[in-house]
Amino acid sequence: MFKHVSAFIFAHAKQNTMKIDSLLHSKSIKAFSLGLLLLLNACAVPGKTDKQQQANTGIGKELNRPKLVVGIVVDQMRYDFLYRYWSKYGNGGFKKLVREGYNFKNTQYSYVPTYTGPGHASIYTGSTPSLNGIIGNYWYNRNNVTSVYCVEDKTVNTVGSTSKAGLMSPANLLTTTITDELRLATNKGSKVIGIALKDRGSILPAGHLANAAYWFDSPSGNWITSTYYMNNLPQWVQEFNNKKYGDQYLSQVWNTLLPIEEYIESSADDVAWEQQLPGEKKPVFPHDVPSIREKDYELLRSLPGGNTITKDFALAALSAENMGKSNYTDFLAVSFSTTDYVGHSFGPNSIETQDLYLRLDKDIEQLISEIEKSVGKENVLFFLTADHGAAHVPAFMQANKVPAGVANSTMLQDTVEHYLNKAYGTGKWIEKYTNQQVYLNRKLIESKKLDRAQVQQKVAGIVMRLNGVARAVPADQMQSTSWSSGLMERLESGYNAQRSGDVIVLLQPGWFEGWEGKEPKGTTHGSYSNYDTHVPLIWYGWNIKPGESSAEVKVADIAPTIASWLYIQEPNGSVGKPLQELMK
């Protein structure tokens, strides 16, 4: 710019040599010269304006990021559990998060089926099963004619035990996670660790590039990992395992934290629809744990000590790995699995479930308190959510005159086989029925020169006749049509063409599946209904101002929200949106 202005002055002076002196003393040229001087002065300090602009927008040399992100997932936590037991929670756990954090009161899963594997995958990938490939805890592999567990990996070995519980990795996860993107963005300078009793609750959040993922081994009572991550347990993990905390928790009788008559938010203690702990005669307090424990540590998963040992191990990892103390943002992913085990056995209206949440409240209080002491509240970003909710026990609902029931999965398969045999000839028409999906024998269909889409439609029509079925959808319809809202959008988001079945079955609200010969006790999850899809989502700590919103948001929004705060790329299959605009 200075070059062009100078050329203009000299050209103008050459054309007007007789008026140069008067021009130099005129008010207009003085003003012009002053402006030119200011421009030259700005040019003499390159970048000053840019730096000022960066400071104003927050994009400068020092980006404002938390030193640590802590993801807390409570397995099978219905949204209403935040408030159902509110009067009995302490002030430092769930209440602290709600009062001092930002609470999204209408957070929904946008797909079915709603299981543990898909839930953890969706939280951390910002995507749905249709993209990340985790369509269930298990699914059927047509090529190998076998069931696949969501985190199984037979190419790796167990580290920390002689059992096969460590033959696990994130190999079946098809997309990156927010934890992967953090590692990539910092050239692996950030530290990422996943922790849960369940392997899938640890591995899927930690992602492909984690420093470590640890889960609980029932035969040994150890926290273990696999050779996917390391060849030997760190010294601090070995020392933790050697303390045998599991024995301590299994030597204690599980009685209620409060006098049992104060559990007015729950149904009676002795009811027919609750499943007792293994070895018990009745599902009632007190649970005499020492008298029913076996040689292994499996029972710990269904006791409050399962959550407590998870909290203890997470704090040990925080300290030993110096998380939140480097120049990079670290990420600690913690999942509390015991709530799912207890929920399945006793149901959401049981005193056991309520007592477990009152005790978990204290575990979360200690987790938050210790992390804040170590890293500082201003330096750590927490979020709390759940991988799915849970249905009311159908027998409980029926006792209260509310429609509900258990669909017989064995009858469904037998009925479909019977009608297909009549329509197309004798054969084994169903290879597998799992995740409420029918996997047809495609080789048999091809050998009989049948149209697969027509057979799928035939099966859907048969299934629709069965008690408790709301809808049956052929896979061909999933691949040829797209939906932007409602039930079918959830179904489409849970469908993966390579891994899903040929016909997807949806049950009526209040219904879930059972098997012939098995007494339907306890509860489960997996449906499109709000009791399974509506979960908590609370942000707390670093840069979070207290507030709440009733706007509908998706679980898939969590990962891109974190990505926006950390100034990193969102996961490569992310379909969510950052939530910062709603939090202003």
Residue 520 three-state SS:
coil
CB 304 within 8 A of CB 338: yes
For residues 147 and 499, the answer to whether their CB atoms sit within 8 Å is: no
57-90: b or e for each residue (b if 16 or more CB lie within 10 Å)? Answer: eeeeeeeebbbbbbbbbbbbbbbebbebbeebbe
How far apart, in whole angstroms, are the C-alpha atoms of residue 364 and residue 171?
31
Phi/psi at 102 (5° precision): -110, 125
Phi-psi region of 244 (alpha: psi -120 to 50; beta: other; left: phi over 0): left
Rounded CA separation 402/91 (Å): 35
Match 């933790």 to its residue by tokens: 240
Q: Which of 65, 61, 123, 62 is nearest to 541 (CA)?
A: 65
Q: Which of the 8 DSSP states describes residue 111?
A: S
Amino acid at 105: K
As a whole number of angstroms, the distance between CA 496 and CA 475 comes to: 10
Annotated catalytic sites, by residue? 116
Identify whether the C-beta of residue 333 lies closer than 8 Å to the C-beta of residue 195: yes
